[in-house]
Structure 1
Amino acid sequence: MAAVSCVAKLGTIVVVLLSLVIMSSSSSNSDRRTYIVQMKHNEKPDSYLTHHDWYSASLASSTTGGDSDSILYSYSAAYNGFSASLDPDQVESLRQSDSVLGVYQDTLYHLHTTRTPQFLGIIDGQLGLQRQQQLNAASHDVIIGVLDTGVWPESRSFDDSDMPPVPTRWKGECEQGEDFKASACNKKLIGARKFAKGFRLAAGVISKEKESPRDQDGHGTHTSTTAAGRQVANASLFGFAAGTARGMAVHARVATYKVCWKTGCFGSDILAGMDRAIADGVDVLSMSLGGGSAPYYRDTIAIGAFKAMEKGVFVSCSAGNSGPAKASLANTAPWIMTVGAGTLDRDFPAYAILGNGRRLTGVSLYSGKGMGDQPLPLVYFYSSSSNNNNSNLCLPGSLQPEAVRGKVVYCDRGVNPRVEKGQVVKDAGGIGMILGNTPENGEELVADSHMLPTVAVGRKIGDEIREYLRTQGSNAKAVIQFGGTVLGVKPSPVVAAFSSRGPNMVAPQILKPDVIGPGVNILAGWSEGIGPTGLDSDTRKTQFNIMSGTSMSCPHISGLAALLKAAHPTWSPSAIKSALMTTAYTLDNNNSPLRDAAGGQLSTPWAHGAGHVDPHKALSPGLVYDITTEEYIAFVCSVGYELKQVQAIVNRANVTCTKRLGDPGRLNYPSFSVLFGKSRVVRYTRQLTNVGAAGSVYVVSAEAPPGVQISVKPKQLVFKNVGDKMRYTVTFVSEKGGSGDAFGSITWKNAGNEVRSPVAFGWERRI
Structure 2
Amino acid sequence: MAFPCPQLLLILIVTLIAASEADLSATGGAKKKTFVFRVDHRAKPSVFPTHAQWYASAAFSGGGATPLPLLHVYDTVFHGFSASLTPAHAAVLSAHPSVLAVFEDRLRRLDTTRSPQFLGLRNQDGLWSDSDYGSDVVVGVLDTGVWPEHRSFSDRNLGPVPSRWRGACETGPGFPVSLCNRKLVGARFFSKGHDASFVGGGGGINQTVESRSPRDADGHGTHTASTAAGRHAFRASMAGYAAGIAKGVAPKARVATYKVCWKGSGCLDSDILAGFDRAVADGVDVISVSIGGGDGIASPYYLDPIAIGSFGAVSRGVFVASSAGNDGPTSMSVTNVAPWLTTVGAGTIDRTFPADVILGDGRRLSGVSLYSGKPLTGSKYPLVYPGKSGGLSASLCMDNSLDPKTVAGKIVICDRGSSPRVAKGHVVKDAGGVGMILANGLSNGEGLVGDAHVLPACAVGYSEGDVIKAYVASAAVPTATIQFRGTVLGVKPAPVVASFSGRGPNGLTPSILKPDLIAPGVNILAAWTGAAGPTGLDSDSRRTEFNILSGTSMACPHVSGAAALLKSAHPDWSPAAIRSAMMTTGRLDDNRRKPTTDESTGKPATPFDIGAGHLNLDRALDPGLVYDIATQDYVAFLCAIGYDPRTIQVITNAPTACPARRPAAEDLNYPSISVTFPAAAGSAANQSRTVRRTATNVGSMADAVYKARVEMAKGQGLEVAVTPRKLAFTAGARRQRFKVSVTATAEGDGGPRFAYLVWSDGSHEVRSPIVVSWIQPL
What's the TM-score once normalised by structure 1's chain length?
0.93
2:623 alignment partner, one of 602, 616, 621: 621
Provide the rounded CA distance (Å) in 1 between the counterparts of 2:718 and 2:752.
11
Provide the rounded CA distance (Å) in 2 between the counterparts of 1:59 and 1:294.
32
Contact 1:605 1:743 in 2 (8 A): yes
Provide the rounded CA distance (Å) in 2 between the counterparts of 1:201 and 1:59.
24
1:682 alignment partner, one of 679, 689, 705: 689
Q: Look up the match of 1:388.
A: 391
Provide the rounded CA distance (Å) in 2 between the counterparts of 1:53 and 1:157.
42
Residues 326-377 of structure 1 deviation map (CA, whole Å, 9 limit, x = unaligned): 1111110000000000001001011111000111111110000011122111
1:431-450 to 2 correspondences below 5 Å: 431-450=434-453
Residues 271-292 of structure 1 deviation map (CA, whole Å, 9 limit, x = unaligned): 0010000000000000000213
The yes-or-no answer on 1:91 pairing with 2:90 is yes
Q: 1:545 Cα deviation (Å)?
A: 0.1
For residue 36 of structure 2, what is the amino acid of its counterpart?
I
The yes-or-no answer on 1:702 pairing with 2:710 is yes
Provide the rounded CA distance (Å) in 1 between the counterparts of 2:546 and 2:688.
53
Q: Look up the match of 1:458.
A: 461
Q: 1:63 Cα deviation (Å)?
A: 5.6
Q: 1:388 Cα deviation (Å)?
A: 3.3
Residues 117-173 of structure 1 deviation map (CA, whole Å, 9 limit, x = unaligned): 11112131342xxx6444217x32210000000000010000101101101111111
1:322 alignment partner, one of 298, 322, 327: 327
Give the CA RMSD over aligned residues.
Answer: 2.0
Contact 1:63 1:90 in 2 (8 A): no
Provide the rounded CA distance (Å) in 2 between the counterparts of 1:38 and 1:28.
30
Contact 1:526 1:544 in 2 (8 A): yes
For residue 304 of structure 1, what is the amino acid of its counterpart?
G
Q: 1:97 Cα deviation (Å)?
A: 1.3
Q: 1:642 Cα deviation (Å)?
A: 3.0
Provide the rounded CA distance (Å) in 2 between the counterparts of 1:507 and 1:212.
38
Residues 296-321 of structure 1 deviation map (CA, whole Å, 9 limit, x = unaligned): 01001101111101100000000000
Provide the rounded CA distance (Å) in 1 between the counterparts of 2:732 and 2:118.
32
Q: 1:390 Cα deviation (Å)?
A: 2.0
Provide the rounded CA distance (Å) in 1 between the counterparts of 2:346 and 2:440.
18
Contact 1:348 1:447 in 2 (8 A): yes
The yes-or-no answer on 1:732 pairing with 2:728 is no
Provide the rounded CA distance (Å) in 2 between the counterparts of 1:622 and 1:491.
29
1:155 alignment partner, one of 150, 166, 175: 150
Contact 1:503 1:606 in 2 (8 A): yes
Provide the rounded CA distance (Å) in 1 between the counterparts of 2:248 and 2:237.
14
For residue 31 of structure 2, what is the amino acid of its counterpart?
D
Provide the rounded CA distance (Å) in 2 between the counterparts of 1:257 and 1:509.
33
Q: 1:502 Cα deviation (Å)?
A: 0.7
Contact 2:55 2:61 in 1 (8 A): no
Q: 1:50 Cα deviation (Å)?
A: 1.4
Q: Look up the match of 2:767.
A: 756
Q: Secondary structure of 1:636's partner?
A: helix
Q: Look up the match of 1:14.
A: none
Q: 1:704 Cα deviation (Å)?
A: 3.8
Provide the rounded CA distance (Å) in 2 between the counterparts of 1:624 and 1:493.
25
Contact 1:63 1:94 in 2 (8 A): no
| Distance 1:721-1:296 versus aligned 2 partners, 3 A rule | same
Q: Look up the match of 1:229.
A: 230
Q: 1:703 Cα deviation (Å)?
A: 2.4
Q: Look up the match of 2:659.
A: 658
Contact 1:35 1:103 in 2 (8 A): yes
Q: How much identity, in percent, do the aligned residues show?
A: 51
| Distance 1:514-1:156 versus aligned 2 partners, 3 A rule | same
Provide the rounded CA distance (Å) in 2 between the counterparts of 1:34 and 1:735.
52
| Distance 1:48-1:343 versus aligned 2 partners, 3 A rule | same
Contact 1:180 1:212 in 2 (8 A): yes
| Distance 1:324-1:65 versus aligned 2 partners, 3 A rule | farther
Q: Look up the match of 2:753.
A: 742
For residue 709 of structure 2, what is the amino acid of its counterpart?
S
Q: 1:66 Cα deviation (Å)?
A: 5.5
Contact 2:717 2:753 in 1 (8 A): no
1:165-564 to 2 correspondences below 5 Å: 165-204=160-199, 205-207=204-206, 208=208, 209-261=210-262, 262-291=264-293, 292-382=297-387, 387-473=390-476, 475-564=477-566
Greater shift, 198-207 or 579-588, is seen at 198-207
Residues 547-583 of structure 1 deviation map (CA, whole Å, 9 limit, x = unaligned): 0000000000000000000000010000000000000
Q: 1:178 Cα deviation (Å)?
A: 1.1
For residue 47 of structure 1, what is the amino acid of its counterpart?
V
For residue 54 of structure 1, what is the amino acid of its counterpart?
W
Provide the rounded CA distance (Å) in 2 between the counterparts of 1:660 and 1:165.
52
For residue 597 of structure 1, what is the amino acid of its counterpart?
E
For residue 221 of structure 2, what is the amino acid of its counterpart?
G
Provide the rounded CA distance (Å) in 1 between the counterparts of 2:267 and 2:461.
32
Q: 1:383 Cα deviation (Å)?
A: 5.3
For residue 322 of structure 1, what is the amino acid of its counterpart?
D
Q: 1:461 Cα deviation (Å)?
A: 1.3
Q: 1:60 Cα deviation (Å)?
A: 5.0
Q: Look up the match of 1:6.
A: none
For residue 541 of structure 2, what is the amino acid of its counterpart?
T
Provide the rounded CA distance (Å) in 2 between the counterparts of 1:351 and 1:522.
21
1:144 alignment partner, one of 123, 139, 148: 139
Contact 1:322 1:329 in 2 (8 A): yes
1:59-78 to 2 correspondences below 5 Å: 60-62=60-62, 67-68=67-68, 70-78=69-77
Q: Secondary structure of 1:748's partner?
A: strand
Provide the rounded CA distance (Å) in 2 between the counterparts of 1:467 and 1:392.
15
For residue 764 of structure 1, what is the amino acid of its counterpart?
I
Q: Secondary structure of 1:90's partner?
A: helix
For residue 35 of structure 1, what is the amino acid of its counterpart?
F
Q: Secondary structure of 1:290's partner?
A: coil
For residue 708 of structure 2, what is the amino acid of its counterpart?
V
Greater shift, 757-766 or 421-430, is seen at 757-766
Q: 1:492 Cα deviation (Å)?
A: 0.3
| Distance 1:388-1:379 versus aligned 2 partners, 3 A rule | closer
Q: Secondary structure of 1:469's partner?
A: helix
Q: Look up the match of 2:9.
A: none
For residue 613 of structure 1, what is the amino acid of its counterpart?
L
Q: Look up the match of 1:15.
A: none
Q: Look up the match of 1:109.
A: 108
Q: 1:459 Cα deviation (Å)?
A: 1.5
1:585 alignment partner, one of 584, 587, 592: 587
Greater shift, 584-593 or 80-89, is seen at 80-89
What's the TM-score once normalised by structure 2's chain length?
0.92
Provide the rounded CA distance (Å) in 2 between the counterparts of 1:665 and 1:746.
15
Q: 1:764 Cα deviation (Å)?
A: 3.2
Greater shift, 228-237 or 417-426, is seen at 417-426
Q: Secondary structure of 1:272's partner?
A: helix
Q: 1:28 Cα deviation (Å)?
A: 7.4
| Distance 1:766-1:325 versus aligned 2 partners, 3 A rule | farther
Q: 1:540 Cα deviation (Å)?
A: 0.8
| Distance 1:60-1:257 versus aligned 2 partners, 3 A rule | same
Contact 1:366 1:454 in 2 (8 A): yes
Q: Look up the match of 1:118.
A: 117
Provide the rounded CA distance (Å) in 2 between the counterparts of 1:723 and 1:322.
44
Contact 2:143 2:290 in 1 (8 A): yes
Q: 1:584 Cα deviation (Å)?
A: 0.2
For residue 54 of structure 2, what is the amino acid of its counterpart?
W
5+ long unaligned stretches in structure 1: 1-18
Contact 2:123 2:129 in 1 (8 A): no
